[in-house]
Structure 1
Amino acid sequence: MMDKVPQLTTDNMPSRNAAVGSDGVDLPGAAIHCTDAEPSLKSMITKVARGPEVNVGGRAPVLRMLQSVARSSSPYLFVEDACHDWPGDAAAIRTAWNTGMFSSFLAETADPDFISFDQRLGLLHVRGAPLHTALARTDWDEVERQFPHLNLSQDFVYDVAVSFAKEERPYIELLFAGLVRLGHPVFYDFNEQDRLLGSRCDDYLERAFLQQSRFVVVMPTITYGTRRSHLYEVELFREKLPRDRLLPIFDISKPRGPFDSLFDQGHLWLEPDQELAPQAAHHAEVISKKIGSDVAAVLRRGR
């Protein structure tokens, strides 16, 4: 359990018309009171904006949610509104909602009297004028500069997409969870069901795999690539996806499959007779480092 951000309380708030911000500037209409014994609202916002986990190549979904609230005249913000504001971070924002990350993080770090998240509705609520005013007047460029390890200008919606046969789902579930914990948005079918429902699946998958994902994890097995449900993905990867964007994971117990040509490039091993969780956690860390190296290379070129 992480330490809670020390909070303002209604007992120490002055009247709304006599407020002073953390930088000493008058904030008309806001009730903000900061003593030497408690952090400023600016400090509180920065700590919450940092999010539950950060890493090289990771995203900042909580930061994006707060920035969207700051742009709005309303203290309420739906997840999909933030996704519209930050399309490059939409997958990370939705994943933080789907996995309960927003709810658990805010419950651990922020007083619900000031900020809360409705998991069912996907609704962030900033309660009271003081915090909403402070958010609106926050220098977000400065906040972002405090997180140089994050790539906040994303070239891809997803850091990773996963393609696999259904027999591999128990392992893929663990890999997905591990990558999410490390801060990566992942294209995983069970995390996209509401958006896949009623959509043209082939078009949706082509965008996700070819245009929106930095890397594609593929598990080449004898069943993968032979079933109708996989044939479209196999053809996409063979014909349109550069090999260096494919990250193969080979199950050592399975016979040769249609993607054995990937065996001559760097790959990871899965031993199904061993416990899956530690293997998935290790693989997630290796893939995360790969993502981080790729992001760092892009950032260096941009300097």
Structure 2
Amino acid sequence: MAEPLLEEVFKTSGVPTHTFVAPSEFPRLRVALRTAGRGVVIEGPSGIGKTTAVTRALDEIGMTGSAQILSARVPDNVEYIAELPHTTGFGVVVVDDFHVLPLDVKKALADHLKVLADAEDPRSKLVIVGINRAGDALVRHAPDLAARLDVLRFEVEPPEKLEQVVRLGETALNVKLSAAAQIVTAAQGSFYLVQMLSRELCLAEELTERQDDHVNVTASYSSVKHRVMEQQESRFGPVVRKFARGPRFRPSGRANYLLLLKWLAESDRWDIVLREEIARHPEHRRSVGQVVDKGWLAGHAAADDIAEILHYDPDGNVLSVEDPQLVFYLRNLDWQRFPRALGFENVELEHEYDFALSFAGEDRPVADALHELLDADDYVVFYDLNEQARIVGEDVEAFLAPIYASDSRFVIAVLGRRYGEKRWTIFESEQFKERFDDGHVIPIWDKDARPTRFDGTRNIGYLTFDSAADPHDEALRLVTVIKEKHSQAMRDTTGTPQIQLDIDSAIVADDPPPSAPAPGVV
């Protein structure tokens, strides 16, 4: 027998021969595959060994000859998969990468799984292989399917399983890997990663086949890590940066997509359920929730290059890694420096909102236009009509007070002719009156408002609007200055040299402004 080559021992594709280690769920998998008609769902992170385990189990129980393994990533295979619900006696069909199938095909397969299970048809068996929560996706399409499936969850494998892979490889190659323990830790439960990193250790010392004499491989893990990260930077770097910047990058933005990647890198699993992550990070509830709820994440993740390495399921609210090497790359990024390298000025923002709008009902048209323009640029804006569901049944004053007092970076006060006469504008202005001194209130006066005795902004720069003009046109002019004000504040916060604010449409005057925020703002 020929001596094994390195690529035959530490394998990064295909079924391992010298280094196969049965996953924890392997016994249950064998039984599930033998059960006539009943559907089998195998879910778990990419690279954990799902397809390898299925292939090996089918071989061990003598079903390889009647089995077909089809990939949802191969167009010809997808056509065949779509015909399965209309076919009888097709044997054992393994549908790999189920999560990337078109929605209508997923639904049809879910319905057919019920038919096969009820009939206990020994001539047809479907095995679904997908990333985490593939079973949940099937049940969403067919709720009564849950009792008719065997769902096997291939989670992260324990260290002893990965250690066994390394030991088998060492024996096959007649070597000893000095950095084996570090490799096992870095692989974080992935059979694929432990194979890849072990292979790289051997390559670092130019060991490409079994050694006649026992060899100690002394290459350090840190050198291998650096080499692997360089390789992966060329592969993943541009796409990761594209995803992290988002479709509308702003240096002063909230880096919502970057935060999603960071949460994914920090997860014990290789996917995250966004509603759970947002609950764990309430300070980002508004900003990240916004890109999810408005469908911006779904659109961004659907780009071809991004979809090759990340998968977003909007129905299940799940963001998953498609490639185990990407997991390694994300977990080993320098997350302290990475945001700045992308051009973000401040990621860990201290305010829930970028802006809170305060206005009287008569000035809603211009307030609505301001909200629309700022919202379209990914700013998080407190606008009363967006919060009705949260306000109903609550103590309104207790709800509003912190938003205007501290939870917004800036208050935009639209100071129309009746601002100081309205109950809620008086209340709101009481909350933010102390923020004038810090420059955190942006007054926008109606140019025709009459002066009042409440002159709290004699020395404050302000903008003006014309209530008789088109609200959208007025907002377009105003929002340019408002956004630059926000950007300058972000640069000031992070210590970046300031850029002079262009306030051609602002007025800084010695004379009193024509109106004032409200009684009590002094």
The match for 2:489 is: 294
In 1, are the aligned partners of 2:256 and 2:288 still within 8 Å (CA)?
A: yes
The match for 2:413 is: 218
The match for 2:288 is: 93
TM-score by length of 2: 0.47
The match for 1:105 is: 300
> What is the CA distance between 1:202 and its match in structure 2?
1.6
The match for 2:423 is: 228
Measure the CA separation in 2 of the matches of 1:74 and 1:297: 37
Shift in CA distance, 70/216, structure 1 to aligned 2, threshold 3 Å: same
The match for 1:4 is: none
The match for 1:241 is: 435
1:123-142 Cα distance to aligned partner (Å, 9 max, x none): 24215343445433433234
Confirm or deny that 1:25 pairs with 2:219: no
In 1, are the aligned partners of 2:243 and 2:306 still within 8 Å (CA)?
A: no
> What is the CA distance between 1:51 and its match in structure 2?
1.5
Which one-letter code corresponds to 1:288 in the other structure? K
The match for 1:83 is: 278
The 5-angstrom pairing of residues 265-276 of structure 1 reads 265-276=460-471
> What is the CA distance between 1:90 and its match in structure 2?
3.2
Q: 2:367 aligns with which of 172, 175, 183?
A: 172
Measure the CA separation in 1 of the matches of 2:453 and 2:272: 46
Matched residues, number: 281
Which one-letter code corresponds to 1:265 in the other structure? I
Identity of aligned residues (%): 24
Q: 1:52 aligns with which of 247, 256, 260?
A: 247
Measure the CA separation in 2 of the matches of 1:102 and 1:195: 23
> What is the CA distance between 1:255 and its match in structure 2?
4.9
Measure the CA separation in 1 of the matches of 2:315 and 2:461: 42
In 2, are the aligned partners of 1:57 and 1:151 still within 8 Å (CA)?
A: yes
Structure 1: gaps (5+ residues)? 1-8, 27-32
In 2, are the aligned partners of 1:162 and 1:186 still within 8 Å (CA)?
A: yes
Measure the CA separation in 2 of the matches of 1:83 and 1:255: 46
The 5-angstrom pairing of residues 2-13 of structure 1 reads none
Shift in CA distance, 230/80, structure 1 to aligned 2, threshold 3 Å: farther
Shift in CA distance, 57/178, structure 1 to aligned 2, threshold 3 Å: same
The 5-angstrom pairing of residues 196-207 of structure 1 reads 196-207=391-402
The match for 2:474 is: 279
> What is the CA distance between 1:23 and its match in structure 2?
5.8
Structure 1 stretch displaced more, 287-296 or 58-67:
287-296
Confirm or deny that 1:43 pairs with 2:274: no
> What is the CA distance between 1:49 and its match in structure 2?
0.8
SS in 1 for 2:348: coil
Shift in CA distance, 233/85, structure 1 to aligned 2, threshold 3 Å: same
In 2, are the aligned partners of 1:215 and 1:247 still within 8 Å (CA)?
A: yes
Greater gyration radius = 2
Shift in CA distance, 120/174, structure 1 to aligned 2, threshold 3 Å: farther
CA RMSD of aligned residues (A): 3.6
Structure 2: gaps (5+ residues)? 1-71, 75-190, 201-224, 498-522
Structure 1 stretch displaced more, 151-160 or 283-292:
151-160
Measure the CA separation in 1 of the matches of 2:465 and 2:240: 42
